[in-house]
C-alpha cells in the first residue's frame, strides 16, 4: 500500500509557467468577442486581459467540476466498492476506478481495508480504506481542495502576470481581423458603421467653423447624418476610427473622451519643432565625474528626460527658463514639468495655462516629439522674463488648466551677462539691465538682439565641442580668476547651439584644454 502524505493540489492557472506559456486560442477570441459585444463599446487592452484571466480561471474551475462530478474525493476513513470512481487531490487530482477491495493485514493498525485503484493513465496503485485512526486526510474537509477562496483571484493574477498577458493578447488581436484598434482601445469590426469621404469632408468643415477645434466626437456627429438606426455609441466609435486614419485630423483630448483638431489650423510650432530647439546629440560617450552627472540631473533638460522612467506626480514644479526656450516661447517638457502636466502619449495636446496673478488664460500645446510646451512667447515678453528666470507650474482643480507664475520682485537694475553676435562669433559682456524677477545667477543670459543670434546660428552650425570652445573664453574673461562654472557654460553654449548638459560637460571633459578647480568650476589649462 502506498502512503499519501503530501498534498499537491495542481491548478495550472495559479502558476507562473501557465501564464508565461500563454497562447490565445479560438475559444479565447470567441470569449473576448462576446465580452466586447456585451459591453457595446471599445475596451482597453488591460481590461480585456483581466477579463481573459478571469475566463481562464473560471474555465479551469468548470473543467474540474465536470471531471469530478461523478467522482468521490478519496479519504482513508471511507468505505469503497468495486466500480467507485475516486479522485485524489494529493496526487494532482488524478482519478481512477476501484477494481479490488480486500482486508488489510497489519496488526499494528487494527482493522482496515485495502483498495486497488486503476488510474485513468493506466497505473494501478493501492490505498487504505475503512481506516478510522487519526490521519491528515481523514481530519480535513474532503471538499476543501475544491474551494476557490484560498486561490489567487483573477485580479491578483493580473497584478502578477498581467504585463505578459497584455503583450500576448495585443499581438493576437492585431492579427485577428474581427477586432479593430481605435487609439488605445479595441472594438469589433462588425459593429462599425461606414464613414465615407463625404462624412469626413463634413467633419473638416465643422472643425473649420470652430477655428480648428477641439471638438468632441458627439459634437461633430450632429452634422454628419450617419444612419439613424445605428446606435450613438457605435457611430462615435466608427467616426473616431475614420478620423484617426485621416491625416487631416489630430486627436488631442486630455482624457478618454476623444476630441479632434484640424491639423492644418494647429500652430506651425506645434506641428514642427522651432529651429532654436533642435539639437544634434553626439554619438560617443565620455565618462563624467559624479559631480557633473549630479549637475546634469539637477539641470533637468528635456533632451535627457527618459519617458520610460516613472515620474511621481507633484503639485508644483519649478523650471529654469533657458535661452532656446525663451527665444521659441516654450518650456521644456522635462522630468519636473511632467510631474505636474497630464500624462499623455498623444503627439500634441492643447491645454490652458493660467497666470497666477492676473488670472489671464493662454492656450499652450504639449508637443510630445521634442518634449516641449509651446505658446508662452507673449507671456514671457509681457513679464520681461530673461533666460535664467524661475518658472513655476502648479496643478489646478481643473484637468485642462495649469497655473503658471514666476518669482516676482520689484524691478531693479543689476549687472548681468549680455550675449550678442560680433564679427561672426558669440560675444559675452556684463552690462546693467532692469531685472523684475528672481533668476539663477549662474544661468541668466540677457539678449538684446535675438535675431542677431539667430543669424549667427544659421550662418555656421556648431557642434557642442565647437560651441564650448567659443563660449568658454567669453565667460572666462568676465571673471578675475578666469574661472567658468559648468552651469554657466551650459547656459551660454545654448545661446548658439542647442545642447544637453551631459553633451556640454562631455565636450568640456574630453577637450583636455580645461581643468577642474572644484565645485564645478573650470579653468583654461596651460595648453
Please write the tens of the pLDDT for every residue from 191-228: 888 889 999 999 999 999 999 989 999 899 888 877 77
* Final residue of a structural domain among 190, 211, 229: 190
Residue 7: pLDDT band with limits 50, 70, 90:
very low
Q: What is the pLDDT of residue 396?
A: 93
Same domain, 206 and 168: no
Q: What is the pLDDT of residue 154?
A: 87
Same domain, 85 and 203: no
Q: For the chain, how are helix, strand and coil distributed in percent, rounded to 5? A: 35, 25, 40
Same domain, 102 and 246: no
Nearest CA among 349, 300, 343 for reference residue 325: 300
Strand arrangement, sheet containing 179-182? 43-44, 185-188, 179-182
Please write the tens of the pLDDT for every residue from 53-111: 999 999 888 887 776 666 788 889 999 999 998 888 778 778 899 999 999 888 877 88
Same domain, 43 and 161: yes
Same domain, 128 and 3: yes
* Final residue of a structural domain among 190, 221, 239: 190
Q: What is the pLDDT of residue 520?
A: 93
Specify the DSSP class assigned to residue 264: G
367 near 333, Cβ under 8 Å? yes
Residue 516 domain flag: no
Please write the tens of the pLDDT for every residue from 99-121: 999 998 888 778 889 999 999 89
Same domain, 176 and 221: no
Same domain, 161 and 248: no
- 450 HSE (CA, 13 A, CB side): 14
Q: What is the pLDDT of residue 4?
A: 36
In terms of Cβ atoms closer than 10 Å to its own Cβ (0-12, 13-18, 19+), residue 430 is exposed
The enclosing domain of 247 has a CATH number of 1.10.10
For residue 119, the Cα-to-chain-centroid distance in whole angstroms is: 52
Is the pTM value of this prediction over 0.75?
A: no
Residue 525 domain flag: no
Residue 300: pLDDT band with limits 50, 70, 90:
very high
Same domain, 145 and 205: no
Same domain, 196 and 183: no
* Final residue of a structural domain among 245, 262, 279: 262
Q: What is the pLDDT of residue 87?
A: 82
Same domain, 41 and 170: yes
Please write the tens of the pLDDT for every residue from 39-56: 888 899 999 999 999 999
Please write the tens of the pLDDT for every residue from 386-419: 999 999 999 999 888 999 999 999 999 999 999 9
Domain residues for the domain of 100 are: 1-190
Does residue 379 carry a pLDDT above 80?
A: yes
137 near 4, Cβ under 8 Å? yes
Residue 523: pLDDT band with limits 50, 70, 90:
very high
Q: What is the total count of domains within the chain?
A: 2
Same domain, 126 and 43: yes
Amino acid at each position: 500500500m502506498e502512503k499519501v502524505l503530501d498534498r499537491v493540489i495542481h491548478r495550472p492557472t495559479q502558476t507562473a509557467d501557465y501564464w508565461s506559456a500563454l497562447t490565445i486560442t479560438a475559444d479565447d477570441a470567441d470569449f473576448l468577442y462576446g465580452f466586447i459585444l456585451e459591453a457595446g463599446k471599445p475596451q482597453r487592452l488591460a481590461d480585456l486581459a483581466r477579463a481573459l484571466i478571469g475566463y481562464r480561471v473560471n474555465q479551469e474551475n468548470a473543467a474540474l467540476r465536470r471531471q469530478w462530478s461523478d467522482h468521490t474525493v478519496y479519504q482513508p476513513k471511507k468505505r469503497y466498492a468495486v466500480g467507485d470512481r475516486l479522485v485524489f487531490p494529493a496526487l494532482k487530482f488524478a482519478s481512477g476506478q476501484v477494481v479490488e477491495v480486500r482486508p488489510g493485514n497489519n496488526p499494528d493498525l487494527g482493522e482496515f481495508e485495502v483498495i486497488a485503484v486503476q488510474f485513468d493513465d493506466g497505473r494501478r496503485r493501492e490505498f487504505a480504506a475503512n481506516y478510522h485512526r487519526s490521519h491528515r486526510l481523514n481530519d480535513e474537509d474532503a471538499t476543501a481542495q475544491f474551494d476557490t477562496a484560498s486561490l489567487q483571484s483573477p485580479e491578483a493574477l493580473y497584478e502578477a502576470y498581467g504585463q505578459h498577458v497584455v503583450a500576448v493578447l495585443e499581438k493576437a488581436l492585431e492579427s485577428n481581423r474581427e477586432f479593430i484598434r481605435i487609439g488605445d482601445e479595441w472594438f469589433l469590426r462588425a459593429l462599425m458603421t461606414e464613414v465615407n469621404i463625404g462624412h469626413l469632408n463634413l467633419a473638416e468643415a465643422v472643425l473649420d467653423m470652430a477655428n480648428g477645434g477641439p471638438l468632441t466626437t458627439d459634437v461633430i456627429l450632429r452634422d454628419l447624418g450617419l444612419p439613424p438606426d445605428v446606435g450613438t455609441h457605435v457611430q462615435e466609435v466608427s467616426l473616431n476610427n475614420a478620423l484617426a486614419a485621416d491625416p487631416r485630423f489630430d486627436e488631442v483630448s486630455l482624457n478618454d473622451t476623444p476630441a479632434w483638431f484640424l491639423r492644418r489650423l494647429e500652430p506651425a510650432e506645434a506641428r514642427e519643432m522651432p529651429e532654436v530647439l533642435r539639437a544634434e546629440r553626439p554619438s560617443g560617450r565620455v565618462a563624467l565625474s559624479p559631480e557633473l552627472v549630479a549637475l546634469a540631473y539637477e539641470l533637468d533638460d528635456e533632451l535627457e528626460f527618459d519617458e520610460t522612467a516613472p515620474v511621481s506626480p507633484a503639485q508644483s514644479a519649478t523650471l529654469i527658463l533657458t535661452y532656446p526656450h525663451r527665444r521659441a516661447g516654450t518650456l521644456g517638457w522635462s522630468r519636473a514639468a511632467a510631474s505636474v502636466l497630464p500624462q499623455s502619449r498623444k503627439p500634441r495636446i492643447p491645454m490652458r495655462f493660467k497666470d497666477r496673478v492676473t488670472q489671464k488664460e493662454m492656450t499652450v500645446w504639449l508637443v510630445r516629439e521634442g518634449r516641449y510646451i509651446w505658446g508662452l512667447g507673449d507671456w514671457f515678453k509681457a513679464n520681461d522674463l530673461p533666460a535664467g528666470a524661475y518658472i513655476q507650474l502648479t496643478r489646478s482643480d481643473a484637468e485642462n488648466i495649469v497655473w503658471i507664475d514666476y518669482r516676482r520682485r520689484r524691478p531693479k537694475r543689476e549687472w548681468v551677462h549680455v550675449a550678442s553676435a560680433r564679427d561672426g562669433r558669440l560675444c559675452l559682456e556684463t552690462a546693467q539691465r532692469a531685472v523684475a524677477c528672481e533668476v539663477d545667477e549662474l544661468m541668466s543670459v540677457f539678449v538684446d538682439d535675438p535675431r542677431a543670434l539667430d543669424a549667427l546660428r544659421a550662418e555656421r552650425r556648431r557642434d557642442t565641442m565647437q560651441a564650448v570652445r567659443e563660449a568658454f573664453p567669453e565667460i572666462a574673461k568676465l571673471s578675475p580668476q578666469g574661472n567658468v562654472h559648468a552651469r554657466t557654460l551650459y547656459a551660454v553654449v545654448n545661446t548658439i547651439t542647442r545642447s544637453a548638459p551631459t553633451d556640454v560637460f562631455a565636450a568640456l571633459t574630453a577637450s583636455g584644454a580645461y581643468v577642474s578647480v572644484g565645485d564645478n568650476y573650470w579653468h583654461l589649462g596651460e595648453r
